[in-house]
Structure 1
Amino acid sequence: MSLTSALNTAQSIFNTTGTQSSVVSNNISNSSNSDYVRRQAMVTTSLNGAQVVKISRAQEDALLKQWLKASAQDSGQQTLLSGLTDLKSIMGGNDYETSPATYLSTFKEKLQAFRTSPSSTIAAQSAVTAAQDVANSLNSASKSVQAVRQSADKDIATKVSTLNTLLAQFKTANDAVKSETATGGNPADALDEREKLLKQISSIVGVNAVDRENGDMALYTTDGTVVFDTIPRTVTFVAQDTYTAQTKGNGVYIDGVQLAMGTGSTTSAQGSLQALLQVRDDIAPKFQSQLDEIAKSLVSMFSESDGATPATTAPGLFVWKTSTGAPGGVPTTTGVIDGISATISVNINVQTGVINPATGLSGDPMKLRDGSISGVTNLNPTGKTGFSDNLDALYTEMGTAQTFSSNAGLSSNVSIMDYASNSIGWLEQYRSDATTASENTSAALSRSTEAYSNETGVNLDEELTLLLDIEQSYKAGTKILNAVDEMLKSLLDIAS
């Protein structure tokens, strides 16, 4: 080997080890960055020794696609579970102490005590107070359900805004990848950035990533709607300022196509957006309908009639207001009356100390016993203190099967007590199933993350071992350089 050849070999070693050490150092510095994909200097040998031909990126497209799918499913499931947990909290937690079912049970007990002692003013007042607690619990629950819907609506608006921003950033990263690929540069950093954005997008709306020529990538939703193709597609949504039971939430549109909401306790939602739509437009409204059916049944059960043909009827113990604010009559529809649970209250004619402005008279709880709350009739015209026929009938009615709307998602031929309990059971079963599903999606995401990280992440032990190998190569180069230096000195000494 000539001295020139030896010098070229040493120079090749120094160039190669310099590039390798730079790549390894970069890997080590990003070992804790989950959005970084490991780089490797690809080395080949020639007559002049080893040299780096390219910087390779440990890209695993199949594992990435699996991770994106697992991420979208888990994001949707966790979002759904969060919404169900919010609805459960309305009922007072694990014991459901603030649920209408709990207050209905207490009211039935107080009504039983009153029918046992129909002459007791205290028993009458206790029954009326318990009825007020039932009405208040329905009011509060209805208000809270709409608050959950409004919160979901605000979250949707935030997610849509974030998604549009991410898609704009995705275009910049995608253009950088295409540019580097077309010019023969190193697109690794741009690929990392694009992949990071892709992960964030998939948690909001599930997407299928399609690779195309020159490093380009297009994004489609699972139902085929274009999300990104050369340019980002616009995602639109109009938020609502307030929510009532009558409010219909606006849809989310991607490139003009409406995004479907998720379905089921093991939700079909891909990403948080579809799950938020499911909470806002399916689960919460159905729970609201169940509250409304309880309220409607109470108004009907405790209404009063003069018994004539045709009969004159009017709300008795429980009254309500229509959406226009006018007093509502005795419900006759078989369907759900949206929002009746938000306006139900106890008739002022039985509230002690409350003056009815129409009559100028103070409320009397004994009117519940006599069936004369509305004024259309009086079942106890002689004022018998032991009269309990009406109380007996009302108590029996609370345990009698009623017809409820099937649109509320519960059995329609049960007593109001069972219906209220079934409503809690429906919510709890939904939440329990969603919890199990969330554990499964979380585990699937964890496994996908581990598998992807094992193939593309940085292993410090491996990098440090490689750094030692590079050090040995560098030492070999220095030995060659020292040998050439000694030879050159010898030649100079001979020449002099």
Structure 2
Amino acid sequence: MSLTSALNTAQGIFNNTGTQSSVVSNNISNAGNKDYVRRQAMLTTSLNGAQVVKIDRAQEDALLRQYLKSSSQDSAQQTLLSGLEDLKSIMGGNDYETSPSTYLGVFQQKLQAFRTTPGSTVAAQGAITAAQDVANSLNNASTSVQDVRASADKQISTAVDTLNTLLSQFETANNAVKTATATGADASSALDEREKALKQISQIVGVSATTRDNNDMVLSTSDGTILFETIPRTVTFQAKDAYNATITGNSVYIDGVALPRGSGSTATGQGSLQSLLQVRDEIAPNFQKQLDEIARGLVSLFKEQSTSGTPAYVTGLFTWSGDTVEAGSTAVAGMASTITVSSTVITSQGGDPMRLRDGGVNADGVVNNTTHLSGYTTDLDSLYNALGSDMDFDPATGTTVGFDTTTGIDSNVSIMEYATNSLGWLEQYRSNATTAAENTSAALSRSDEAYSNETGVNLDEELTLLLDIEQSYKAATKILNAVDEMLKSLLDIAS
């Protein structure tokens, strides 16, 4: 080997180790960055020796696709579970202390006490107070359910804004990737930024990525709607200021196509948006209908025969803003929010609680105990028995609930059982969603681990590689020292 060849070899090693050490140092500094994909300087050997030909990025497209899918599913499931937990909290937590079912049970007991001692004003007042608690619980529950819908609506609006921002960031990164690829520059940093945006997008909406020529990427939603192609597609949503039982929320549109909501306790949707739509437009409204049906059932059970005969019945102990007794078995939207106890039996409002015993709670209602006998229990017995008797409820409140093995709550039961079944419906939905959330979380954890193992930085490996690079550097130094000694010897001979 000539001195010139030796010098060239040493120079090549210095160039290679400089590039390699820079790459390894960058890897080590990003060891804790989950959005960083490991780089490696690739060497090739030719007649001129070894040289770095490119910086290779440890990209794993198959594992990335699995991670994105798991991320979307888990985000959807966790969002669904959060909405169900909010609905459960309305009922007072694990023991459902503030649920209409709980207050109905107390009311039934107070009504029993009143029919046992029909002459007791204290017993009468106790029954009226319990009835007020029932009405208040329905009012509060209805308001809270609509608050859950309004909260979901706001979260949808925030998610849409975030999604549009992420798509804009994705466009910037995608353009940088295309430019670097076209010019032969290192696109690793731009690819990391693009992948980071893609991961965040997958948490909001299910996304499928396709790579085209020049490393250009196209994004579509899980149902095939184009989300990004050269430029971001517009994602639009018009939020509502407030919600009640009669208001329907607006859809989310991606490139003019409405995003479908998820369904089922094991969410079919991908990304948080579809689950938020499910909570706002399916689960909460269905629970609201059940509350409305409890309210309609109370008004119907405690109705009074009309003194004029037209209409045949008027409201009794329980009334509402419509002040009518609804015929048939169809839920009346928002009835639970306005149900109340008639002021004619509330002492603080100048009423007489004994009207519940005698009849004629409504001024247009028939008074059955005209002589106000203290032992009269006919009406109280009838009302008490009615609470435990089967009646027809709107079957639409017990269907399409997303159960895997049931169709919902029965539509021909007593009002006491219906109120209990409504809680059971919510609890089973939440229980199934909890199990599914544990599964999606585990699946995401496994996907994340598998992807990180292939693309993440392992400090032990990097430090070992750094030692190898150091040995190469030492070898080049020895070659350079040997050449230096030989040159000195030649100069000494020449002198």
User: Normalised by the size of structure 1, how large is the TM-score?
Assistant: 0.97
Aligned to 2:340: 345
Aligned counterparts of 2:306 and 2:205: Cα–Cα separation in 1:
59
- How does 1:245-284 map onto structure 2 within 5 Å? 245-284=245-284
- Equivalent residue number for residue 398 of structure 1: 387
The CA distance in 2 between the partners of 1:288 and 1:316, in whole Å, is: 23
8 A contact 2:91–2:99 mirrored in 1: yes
Q: How does 1:449-460 map to 2 (within 5 A)?
A: 449-460=448-459
Q: Partners of 1:399 and 1:110 in 2: how far apart?
A: 14
**Over 2 Å off, 4+ runs:** 46-49, 306-312
Give CA-to-partner distance per residue, 1:348-394, whole Å, 9 cap, x none: 0000031xxxxxxx200000001110122110011111000000000
After TM superposition, the structure 1 stretch with the greater mean CA deviation from structure 2, 428-437 or 39-48, is 39-48
- Tell me, what secondary structure is at the counterpart of 1:224? coil
For residues 315-337 of structure 1, the C-alpha deviation after alignment (integer angstroms, 9 at most, x for no partner) is: 00001014xxxxx2111142110
- Counterpart CA distance in 2 for 1:189 and 1:310 is 79
Residues 380-412 of structure 1, C-alpha deviation per residue, up to 9 Å, x if partnerless?
011111000000000000000010001111211
Correspondence for 1:336: 331
**Which residue does 1:487 correspond to in 2?**
486
- Paired letter, 2:226: V
Q: 1:306 Cα shift?
A: 4.1
Tell me by how many angstroms 1:307 deviates.
7.7
Stretches of structure 2 lacking an aligned partner (at least 5 in a row): 399-408
Match of 2:354 in 1: 366
Query: Which residue number corresponds to residue 302 of structure 2?
Result: 302
Q: Which residue of 2 aligns with 1:430?
A: 429
Alpha-carbon separation, structure 2, partners of 1:166 and 1:74: 19
Once structures 1 and 2 are overlaid, which stretch shifts more, 379-388 or 302-311?
Answer: 302-311
Instruction: Indicate if the aligned counterparts of 1:64 and 1:452 stay in contact, CA closer than 8 A.
Output: yes
Q: For each residue in 1:258-307, what CA deviation from the matched residue of structure 2 results, as whole angstroms up to 9, or x when unmatched? A: 00000000010100000000000000000000000000000010010048
After superposition, the C-alpha distances for 1:334-353 in whole angstroms (9 at most, x for unaligned) are: 21100000000000000003
- Separation of aligned partners in 1, 2:470 and 2:311: 101
Distance (Å, rounded) in 2 between the aligned partners of 1:312 and 1:424: 33
Letter in 1 for 2:304: E
Supply the AA of the counterpart residue of 2:453.
Answer: N
Hey, what does 1:25 align to over in structure 2?
Answer: 25
Q: What RMSD, in angstroms, separates the aligned Cα atoms of the two structures?
A: 0.9
Ranges in structure 1 where 5+ consecutive residues have no aligned partner:
323-327, 355-361
| Aligned match of 1:45 | 45
Whichever residue aligns with residue 354 of structure 2, its letter is: M
Whether the 8 Å contact between 1:73 and 1:269 is mirrored in structure 2 is yes
| TM-superposed deviation, 1:223 | 1.1
> Identity, % of aligned pairs?
69
- Aligned equivalents of 1:388, 1:333: Cα separation in 2: 28
Would the aligned equivalents of 1:148 and 1:284 in 2 still touch at CA under 8 Å?
yes
1:381 aligned onto 2:376:
no
Contact map agreement 1:72 1:272 (CA 8 A) in 2? yes
Tell me the SS of whatever aligns to 1:353.
helix
**Partner secondary structure for residue 364 of structure 1:** coil
When normalised by structure 2's length, the TM-score is 0.97
Provide the C-alpha distance between the structure 2 equivalents of 1:485 and 1:273, rounded to a whole number of angstroms: 69
Q: Equivalences for 1:40-439 in 2 at 5 Å? A: 40-306=40-306, 312-322=312-322, 328-354=323-349, 362-375=350-363, 376-409=365-398, 410-439=409-438
- Offset at residue 49 of structure 1 (A): 2.3
Partner of 2:454, secondary structure, is helix
What SS does the corresponding residue of 2:45 show, helix, strand or coil? strand
Indicate if the aligned counterparts of 1:5 and 1:48 stay in contact, CA closer than 8 A.
Answer: no
DSSP 3-state at the match of 2:347: coil
SS at match of 2:220: strand
Indicate the SS of the match to 1:241: coil
CA drift at 1:310: 6.2
- How many residue pairs end up in the alignment? 484
The answer to whether the 8 A contact 1:87-1:148 is kept is yes
The one-letter code of the counterpart of 1:146 is Q
Quick check: 1:13–1:473 contact (8 Å CA) kept in 2?
A: yes
> In the TM superposition, what is the alpha-carbon distance from 1:46 to its structure 2 partner?
2.4
| Counterpart for residue 467 of structure 2 | 468
- Alignment correspondent of 1:357: none
